[in-house]
Structure 1
Amino acid sequence: MSKKSKSFFSHFTIAHKITMMYGGIFSLSLLIISFFVLVNVTVIEQNNIKAEMKKTVENIDDYIKNGGELSQETLEALLENKYIEVNVVDVKNHKVYKNSVGKLPSFVRQIQSQPPHGFLDEERNNRSEELEKKGFKVDIAKEFNMDDKAYFISSRDGKEFVLLEKEINFEESCYLVQAFKMLQKNDYYFRSFGLRLFLIDILGIFLSFLIGRYISRKMLKPVEEIQQTAERISIEDLSQRIDTSGPDDEMKELAETFNSMISRLENSFQKQNQFISDASHELRTPISVIQGYANLINRWGKSDPTVLEESIQSILAETEHMSQLIKKLLFLAKSDQNRIPVQKEQFCLNELVKEVVKEMEITTETKRNIIIKEQKTVEIYADSSMIKQLLWIHCENALKYTKQNDSITFHIYEQCEYGCVDVQDNGAGMNEEDVTRIFDRFYRADKSRNKEIPGTGLGLSIAKWIAESNDGKISVESELEKGTIFHNAFPLKKKKNQKYS
């Protein structure tokens, strides 16, 4: 296909292309059939005449062989098609029966004496020569039975005939049946037939494009609905959906896929808006505190060392809080974009837990009873640095919500194909509503979000991402005033067909 034709078709819509394709294929098929019919109409006419002549001769043959006595009246009765001319020669009785009026054509035989049996077979070639000597052009037809002799005869004046001859021998009787008919060259008939065929083709082509247009619109209706729905969708309104009622076809699958995509987008936008709102809220508080203490220093801190020291310590604390918050926000932003590499390896979970506990005891000022319960040595396949970060998140939460001399217990064990570590404390605990939302970003069980217990509300969201990125699981059990247990499970071995990260 040339560039010009490609450029031409590129301006059409899909509906127009389907209409043109459907209408074009149907129209081309119709024109080919019409051309075949028009070219072969003469052949069709000849075949119809031959079939009628053969039936006429067979009727006469059946009548004679069933003992019927042939006469002019019975011959007229046997002829179903009155337009077939028949000449029957009773050789024995020297009689001729015919339905033609006027002089018979010169190619019709007139037998006056009894010929030998089978004279038609013996004189077939002589018959053709005889007709050619009389000025006829002869073509022997081969479609008939061997008992029938048929010829296409053309006279000098352009007239054409079909001649069928048959010898009928029954008992002592012998008949020569000759049926013939002139082929009419009716120019009016052909013109009329061609005109009708042309009009039928025009009507068929028009209907094919009309039906093609209807089919294309019906097929592409879901696509049009998708387009209209997409035009109505905006960031402010992602609630639009496509109607998926109808047959279970590819278009319905397309509509369902589109609806699913919009649902995911809507969910992502809601999470993003909530994330921005919560981040703004969390950052607003330390900024307000820093601004307040800065004003306090500006007013009285220059001359009052106590106010100055208090303000500096508070500003440093809020700055550290903001630094931790921003680090966690950046971590979550990278995790959402899958930009954090996960370096999995086989390592001992027991040793990692003991390492975290040792670091916690060194860095923690307040005293806690740390208990490690291990059934056996457990090796897992995961990113050790990430698992350590997850354990630290649980430790920090346990330290925040437990009191002096309370217990923090680590349970290490294997379960099915997972190596597990549970972090349990006997602190404040949570109610059912808090448990269902504890992994949401910026969510904290202390509704007032006061500063008695510091935190950003992002730690457990990060812990959940770490667990899932390492093909693990994380869940929580908690009860008010009794404590909380975080269950963490990671694969013992590398999964089949899994490549190293």
Structure 2
Amino acid sequence: MNLVKNFSITKRMTFVFAFIFSITLFCLSACVLYSVELYQFFSAHNDIETTKKYILTDNIKLSDIENGEALYSRKDILVEIRNKDGILFKTTAFVDGIEHSVIPYDRIAVKELEDEDFLIEKTKCIIQDITYDAVIIKDLHDEKVFLKILFSILALVDLVGIMIALISGYIFAKKALKPIDIIIKTSRNISYKGLSERIPLPESRDELYELSLVLNNMADKLECIFNKQAQFVSDASHELKTPLAAIIGHASLISRWGKDDREVLEKSILAITTEAEYMENLITKLLYLAKLDNEKAVMIEPFNLSELIATIYKDVSMCNENFEIICTCEPNVQINTDKAMTKQLILILLDNALKFTDSNGTIAINCISNDDKVVLDIIDSGCGMCENELAFIFDRFYTNDKARNRTSSGNGLGLSIAKEICELLSLEISVSSILNEGSKFQLIFPKF
């Protein structure tokens, strides 16, 4: 059993195919052999019945029997007619030693005498009003020889059939599993050469086609994740390098002149605190992104979106009194999604609007419920964006200032987190913007 497990799939398929074919061939040969043997038996029995009918005719005379003229005569059939005293007549003498006492009346039987098979039947016959015993014996020698020849032919055919089954099964299995060999070869190339290799799709749209398609999709996702990870590490290193350099510089400044210059000390401490807060904010968002990337399940539950928006509006308005924040929301809007993530999503979009809107600017929150969806718009009167920037705003660490300065305290992670949340909750998010006029972010929640 362990030896079979070590065989390749091609060999195992070949053996299985050959085994099934062999069993089928053996069964077919056995059926043919049995059918021919059965046919021979009934044919011999029919010969005996024909002879029996002839013997039992009423016009047979004893004188005819004695002269050997009236009995049915064939070289492979022996007919004996006996009375109580012994044999009156025997047509041939190709067998001797049959005991009539062991042969029941009106029953046909196969007996083996002198290594030969005979079909025997004993019956009563009336000749000139006298009852005699009639024994009819059919020689089965020719039938037995024919069966032996047929058996040899079928055995040879079975042997040739098994050889053909092994060869054709191997060729068929090799051809059928060729796409798997290609998959293995391509997978090895991916391991050695990188994630750019792809499996050629088979022409037939069968299970192997689906397997190749799934593996290619998996390779696409792995390549995308790998590229994102590489970009993520590069951008994170860049973002962390700048505040660390600033902290080290100000620490060195304090070490040199801060002890004697109060103004230098206070400025350096403020700068270090600012950079540390920036790093803390950056690390917090990075950890949240990592959590979203590994999220296995969300807490889907029905809740009142109107109440959640009202709470957020109240908190944001209290902390940002120098902005005009307007909230227009229909009452009792019910949705079914993760409440905590929805709150985080709205806060990110509001924080983004506040970040890029000047003081005394306007920010509007509009929520409208339709038959099958809920539309939430967050509109600001900030600096806006160019049309060519809209395709990149959800990328990690992207900011709308190419110099990547942090005058607006942004690190380019907020909107990427918002995008991740939307994908996780199956929400739609879109943005439209006009440079120097403002931006509008739109969220679409399914009701059910």
Q: TM-score, normalised by structure 2?
A: 0.75
Q: Check if 1:359 corresponds to 2:315.
A: yes
Cα distance in 1, alignment partners of residues 415 and 117 from structure 2: 105
**What fraction of aligned residue pairs are identical, expressed as a percent?**
35
Cα distance in 2, alignment partners of residues 279 and 376 from structure 1: 42
Q: Check if 1:466 corresponds to 2:405.
A: no
Cα distance in 2, alignment partners of residues 47 and 343 from structure 1: 79
Cα distance in 1, alignment partners of residues 284 and 42 from structure 2: 94
Residue 475 and residue 282 in structure 1: after superposition, are their counterparts in 2 closer, same or farther (change >3 A)? same
Residue 332 and residue 96 in structure 1: after superposition, are their counterparts in 2 closer, same or farther (change >3 A)? same
Residue 229 and residue 154 in structure 1: after superposition, are their counterparts in 2 closer, same or farther (change >3 A)? closer
Q: Which residue of 1 aligns with 2:16?
A: 21
Asked whether the 8 Å contact 1:140–1:152 carries over to 2, the reply is no
Q: Check if 1:425 corresponds to 2:420.
A: no
The superposition leaves residues 112-155 of structure 1 with CA deviations (integer Å, 9 ceiling, x where unpaired) of xxxxxxxxxxxxx99xx97799976789999xxxxxxx999999
Q: Check if 1:283 corresponds to 2:240.
A: yes
The superposition leaves residues 365-400 of structure 1 with CA deviations (integer Å, 9 ceiling, x where unpaired) of 7x3222223454534445544433333322222222
Residue 312 and residue 245 in structure 1: after superposition, are their counterparts in 2 closer, same or farther (change >3 A)? same
Asked whether the 8 Å contact 1:470–1:490 carries over to 2, the reply is no
Q: Which residue of 2 aligns with 1:444?
A: 399
Q: What does 1:216-295 correspond to in 2, within 5 Å? A: 216-234=173-191, 237-295=194-252
Q: Check if 1:476 corresponds to 2:448.
A: no
Q: Which residue of 2 aligns with 1:60?
A: none
Q: Which runs of 5+ in 2 are unaligned?
A: 52-58, 122-136
Residue 312 and residue 302 in structure 1: after superposition, are their counterparts in 2 closer, same or farther (change >3 A)? same
SS of residue in 2 equivalent to 1:436: coil
Q: Give, in angstroms, the shift of residue 328 of structure 1.
A: 0.4
Q: Which residue of 1 aligns with 2:253?
A: 296
Cα distance in 1, alignment partners of residues 116 and 187 from structure 2: 74
Q: Give, in angstroms, the shift of residue 275 of structure 1.
A: 2.0
Q: Which runs of 5+ in 1 are unaligned?
A: 58-89, 110-124, 143-149, 164-179, 496-501
Q: Which residue of 1 aligns with 2:346?
A: 391
SS of residue in 2 equivalent to 1:247: coil
Q: 2:390 aligns with which of 435, 439, 459?
A: 435
Asked whether the 8 Å contact 1:300–1:307 carries over to 2, the reply is yes
The superposition leaves residues 7-61 of structure 1 with CA deviations (integer Å, 9 ceiling, x where unpaired) of 343333333222222212222333344455556765544556778x79x99xxxx
Cα distance in 1, alignment partners of residues 197 and 71 from structure 2: 87
Letter in 2 for 1:298: S
The total of aligned residue pairs comes to: 422
Residue 467 and residue 158 in structure 1: after superposition, are their counterparts in 2 closer, same or farther (change >3 A)? closer
The superposition leaves residues 218-242 of structure 1 with CA deviations (integer Å, 9 ceiling, x where unpaired) of 3333333222222222386112222
The superposition leaves residues 84-114 of structure 1 with CA deviations (integer Å, 9 ceiling, x where unpaired) of xxxxxx99xx99799999x9987399xxxxx
Cα distance in 1, alignment partners of residues 34 and 427 from structure 2: 78
Residue 270 and residue 221 in structure 1: after superposition, are their counterparts in 2 closer, same or farther (change >3 A)? same
Q: Which residue of 2 aligns with 1:171?
A: none
Asked whether the 8 Å contact 1:139–1:153 carries over to 2, the reply is no
SS of residue in 2 equivalent to 1:240: coil
Q: Give, in angstroms, the shift of residue 339 of structure 1.
A: 6.1
Letter in 2 for 1:251: L
Greater CA drift, 414-423 or 319-328: 414-423
Q: 1:405 aligns with which of 347, 360, 377?
A: 360
Cα distance in 2, alignment partners of residues 189 and 27 from structure 1: 24
Greater CA drift, 293-302 or 277-286: 293-302
Residue 394 and residue 31 in structure 1: after superposition, are their counterparts in 2 closer, same or farther (change >3 A)? closer
SS of residue in 1 equivalent to 2:167: helix
Asked whether the 8 Å contact 2:298–2:338 carries over to 1, the reply is no
Cα distance in 1, alignment partners of residues 406 and 311 from structure 2: 30
Residue 485 and residue 99 in structure 1: after superposition, are their counterparts in 2 closer, same or farther (change >3 A)? same
Q: 2:4 aligns with which of 2, 9, 12?
A: 9
Q: Check if 1:212 corresponds to 2:184.
A: no
